[in-house]
Amino acid sequence: MKLAATEHKGTGQDFLLLHGLGGDRSNWDALAPELNGRAVAVDLRGHGESPDGDWDWEAVLDDLDETVVHFGLDKPVVVGHSLGGVIAGLWALRHPSCPAAVSLDGHRSATTHPENYPGLSTEDVTRSLAELNALFDAQLETITRPSRRILDVLRTSPELLDALPVFAKVTAPFLLVFAARNLPVPPELLPLSEAHRAGVRRDVPANVEVHEIDATHGLIAEQPQAVAAIVNQFVSKRFKA
């Protein structure tokens, strides 16, 4: 599948930028110019101006392979936000020679397995997850891209429910930029959000470098310059003589 893409000119390292669920390549407009190199931002299949298609992780990676070839990217650093961060990990698994991969707060779904919420009783987790899923269901009714078929696949995908086992297999340098603040949620769901964050901190694999940032999950819109600086510093360490 040929993806819609935007090239942000620059010299130095090549970057491939992957947006989150329901986003598109314009999400990178403020951040991409701050990167030390040339960056290509894509619309993933079913998003933005890219064609529709069934969601299959290998097919999604095939789309990106074709994009890399089309733009002549030389072993790009793959940077993804949310869903894109999960894909960055899968990309690094497919391409062991990947110089570095970065996930921007893409790690584990907010509605994941009950054991991923330490400190809360099973009863509290079950009740709170039912409330959170009801909120998500209402939000999904307002989304036209991607399709409901893709959304339904992703909501039950093991990789999206918990990408940390994927990250544990990555041999390339891998950075997780972790949002330290909650998105706005009803007060009764704050304990679930805090427990979710505690579970991620507990379970991040040893091979993953973590940088926490004082931002919410919308970090690339809230602090594009700060996030770009973190990415640039991580990448520059990989290429020091």
Q: Cis omega before residue 158 (within 30°)?
A: no
Could you give the C-alpha distances from 118 to 67, 106, 110, 124, 156, in angstroms and in order?
Answer: 40, 19, 13, 11, 21
Query: What value does the mean pLDDT take over residues 40-58?
Result: 96
Residue, of 214 and 137, whose pLDDT is higher: 214
| Portion of the chain with pLDDT greater than 70, in percent | 99
pLDDT reading at 69 higher than 60:
yes
What pLDDT is recorded for position 139? 81
Beta bridge partners, 92, equal none
Strand order, beta sheet including 37-42: 5-8, 37-42, 13-18, 77-81, 101-104, 174-179, 208-213
Q: Give the DSSP letter of residue 217.
A: T
Q: What is the pLDDT of residues 177-225, one digit of tens each?
A: 999 998 888 999 999 999 999 999 999 999 999 999 999 999 999 999 9
Average pLDDT over residues 166-186: 94
Q: In whole angstroms, give the CA distance from residue 106 to residue 160.
A: 9
| For residues 28-55, average pLDDT | 96
Position 55 confidence tier, pLDDT thresholds 50, 70, 90: very high
Greatest Cα pair distance, the chain, in angstroms, is 54
Question: Which residues, including other chains, have CB under 8 Å from residue 11's CB and lie 6 or more apart?
Answer: 37, 38
Q: How many angstroms separate the CA atoms of 67 and 2, rounded? A: 7
Phi/psi for 148 (5° steps) reads: -60, -30
Query: What pLDDT score was predicted for residue 241?
Result: 42
| pLDDT above 80 (res 240) | no
70 confidence band (pLDDT: 50, 70, 90): very high
Name the band, by pLDDT with cuts 50, 70 and 90, for residue 237. Answer: confident
Average pLDDT over residues 13-35: 97
Could you tell me the fold of the domain covering 5-238?
Answer: Rossmann fold (3.40.50)
**Pairing of β 5-8 and β 37-42:** antiparallel
Q: State how beta strands 77-81 and 174-179 pair.
A: unpaired
Beta-ladder partners of 162 = 108
The stretch 59-74 carries a mean pLDDT of: 96
Tokens at residue 102, please? Answer: 């970065």
Report the predicted TM-score, pTM, of the whole model to 2 decimal places.
0.95
**Gyration radius from the chain CA atoms:** 17
